[in-house]
């Protein structure tokens, strides 16, 4: 596992997959992140049905 530290408004980029993860806000021990990815890439929260596509969010163009 790669562990990186980022500040608010900094990003982590995975260029080979076209994915960018941006730190939007931190408040106490909570972090808000934004994820940009190609259309059709499923994004899941691990605590909600990690192996089911029923709860996956597909990234679509223009989604912020």
CA pair distance 5, 50, nearest whole angstrom:
25
| pLDDT value of residue 54 | 58
Domain ranges of the chain: 11-58
CA pair distance 43, 48, nearest whole angstrom:
11
Q: Give how far the C-alpha of residue 29 lies from the chain's centroid of Cα atoms, to the nearest Å.
A: 18
The tens-digit pLDDT sequence of the chain (64 residues) is 999 999 999 999 999 999 999 999 999 999 999 999 999 888 888 887 656 555 555 555 444 4
């Amino acid at each position: 596992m790669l562990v990186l530290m980022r500040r608010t408004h900094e990003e982590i980029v995975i260029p080979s997959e076209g994915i960018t993860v941006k730190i939007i806000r931190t408040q106490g021990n909570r972090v808000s992140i934004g994820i940009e990815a190609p259309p059709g890439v499923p994004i899941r929260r691990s605590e909600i049905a990690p192996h089911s596509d029923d709860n996956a969010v597909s990234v679509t163009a223009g989604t912020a």
